[in-house]
Amino acid sequence: MQDGVHNIHDKFVRESFSDPVRAIAFLERFLPDEMINNLDLPTLRVLQESYLNEALKEHFSDLVFEISLKNNADTKTDISILFEHKSSPDKHVLIQVGHYMFAHWVKCLAEKKKLKVIIPMIYYQGKKEWTLADLSSLFDSYPDFIKNYIPTLNYLFFALNTISEDKIETIRDTMMAAAVIAQKWRINPVKLQADFERIFRLFPLKDPNWNFLEKIVVYALNVSDITEEVLAETIKSIPQPIKDNIMTTYDRIVQKNRNEGVQIGIQKGKIEGKIEGKIEGKIEGKIEVVLNCFDQGIDLAMIINIAGLSEAEVISILKEHNRIK
């Protein structure tokens, strides 16, 4: 993952899915029925061992779940989770996933371990529509009798921009539902205030993990332009007795971040420096402009003028997003 905005999203998504209870709640809601009926989800555990080399770690969060198949406790199925935080669809993602799978199997062979099936699960957070194509689409210039030799890679694909908040709220674990709604904020920041209210209503009044709510709020404030004042007004609109608990949590979050020198919102009047989230939003916008222009065949000089970046910056973006070598 590249630094900055991608790291913020990657860290929060990993935090959300690294907890087995939350991960199970997501999977049982969105996996195909056939898989739900045949996977023993309560056996899920998060693997700590890495199968990735340093190059692959730029594309993967290295989060792998291991789940037993029902009626066969000796058979395990590894589900690899790819958290895709790029601002635009990546046509090479299946190559990255395939590389991960074979890296896993090569490691198993070297260590004389039993091979296990991996089910790739691609989790997409971008705002653009993305219809993920098969590997053969990367070789359009070849005739079909040659393309028949291109491997077929099956996968599960989840695009948050296609899932409604109402459906997300049906996730059994309310903390996971709140986290997934938070991850949709980058798509439509105008709805942030309303979504904050959704989050606060989702959280149980006596939930023992209120510290996770703090992480959700801090994440949201880092990836949006909402002010502390707007957030405070949103909280005030929530009826008792939830409001008192939320206000206490909110005050602690604000004070904690101020003490640590973290800028978590756009303050009224002049503030020192620029808000990290706002800066990252602008950077992400520049990246999207560069990638869109390149994909449309616009030459490098024109892309530099349109994006307002230096040649070195444009080339760096194109390399990081696998457009050029």
pLDDT band at 24 (very low <50, low <70, confident <90, very high): very high
Does one domain contain both 273 and 162? Answer: no
In a domain, 160, yes or no: yes
Does one domain contain both 258 and 124? Answer: no
Does one domain contain both 132 and 268? Answer: no
Residue 53 pLDDT > 90: no
Tokens of 242: 């939830």
In a domain, 153, yes or no: yes
End position of a domain, from candidates 118, 139, 166:
166
Window from 93-107, 147-161, 222-236 with minimum mean pLDDT: 222-236
Instruction: Compute φ and ψ for 65, nearest 5 degrees.
Output: -105, 145
The C-alpha angle with vertex 108 and arms to 105 and 111, in degrees rounded to 5, equals: 155
In a domain, 143, yes or no: yes
88 within 8 A of 289, measured Cβ to Cβ: no
How far apart CA 227 and CA 191 sit, in angstroms, is: 13
Does one domain contain both 294 and 212? Answer: no
Residue 36 has what pLDDT? 92
pLDDT band at 305 (very low <50, low <70, confident <90, very high): low
In a domain, 119, yes or no: yes
Residue 205 has what pLDDT? 54
Task: Find the mean pLDDT for residues 108-134.
Answer: 86
CA torsion 53-56-60-61 (nearest 10°) is 30
pLDDT band at 226 (very low <50, low <70, confident <90, very high): low
Percentage of residues in the chain with pLDDT exceeding 70? 60
Does one domain contain both 295 and 257? Answer: no
Window from 76-80, 132-136, 260-264 with minimum mean pLDDT: 260-264
Longest dimension (CA), the chain: 67
Between 10 and 116, residue with greater pLDDT: 116
Q: Is the dihedral of CA 5, 171, 174, 60 positive or negative?
A: negative
Q: 174-183 vs 5-17: helix axis angle to the nearest 10? A: 160
What is the CB-side half-sphere exposure of residue 264 using CA atoms within 13 A? 25
What is each CA distance from 323 to 181, 239, 293, 300, 318, in whole angstroms?
31, 51, 11, 12, 5
Residue 146 has what pLDDT? 95
Residue 135 pLDDT > 90: yes
Does one domain contain both 54 and 72? Answer: yes
Task: Find the mean pLDDT for residues 170-186.
Answer: 84
Terminal CA-CA length for the chain: 17
Q: Containing domain of residue 64, as a range?
A: 5-166
In a domain, 182, yes or no: no
Total domains, the chain: 3
Helices vs strands, H then E, count in the chain:
14, 5
Residue 5 pLDDT > 70: no
Does one domain contain both 42 and 143? Answer: yes
pLDDT band at 288 (very low <50, low <70, confident <90, very high): confident
Residue 322 per-residue DSSP state: T
**Complete DSSP assignment for 166-178:** HHHTTSSSHHHHH
Residue 277 has what pLDDT? 43
Does one domain contain both 32 and 154? Answer: yes
Residue 34 pLDDT > 90: yes
Does one domain contain both 133 and 51? Answer: yes
pLDDT band at 253 (very low <50, low <70, confident <90, very high): low
Window from 68-82, 141-155, 215-229, 271-285 with minimum mean pLDDT: 271-285
How far apart CA 125 and CA 206 sit, in angstroms, is: 30
In a domain, 179, yes or no: no
Range with the largest mean pLDDT of 73-77, 141-145, 255-259, 310-314: 141-145
In a domain, 174, yes or no: no
What is each CA distance from 127 to 10, 18, 119, 189, in whole angstroms?
16, 24, 25, 11
In a domain, 257, yes or no: yes
Residue 323 has what pLDDT? 84
Task: Find the mean pLDDT for residues 287-315.
Answer: 76
Does one domain contain both 143 and 31? Answer: yes
How far apart CA 204 and CA 202 sit, in angstroms, is: 6
Does one domain contain both 58 and 141? Answer: yes
Does one domain contain both 67 and 115? Answer: yes
Q: Which residues, 6 or more positions from 317, have their beta carbon under 8 angstroms from its beta carbon?
A: 286, 287, 290, 291, 309
Residue 157 per-residue DSSP state: E
Please classify residue 114 by burial: count the beta carbons closer than 10 Å to its beta carbon, then call 0-12 exposed, 13-18 middle and 19+ buried.
exposed
Q: Is the dihedral of CA 5, 11, 14, 16 positive or negative?
A: negative
Residue 14 has what pLDDT? 83
276 three-class SS: helix
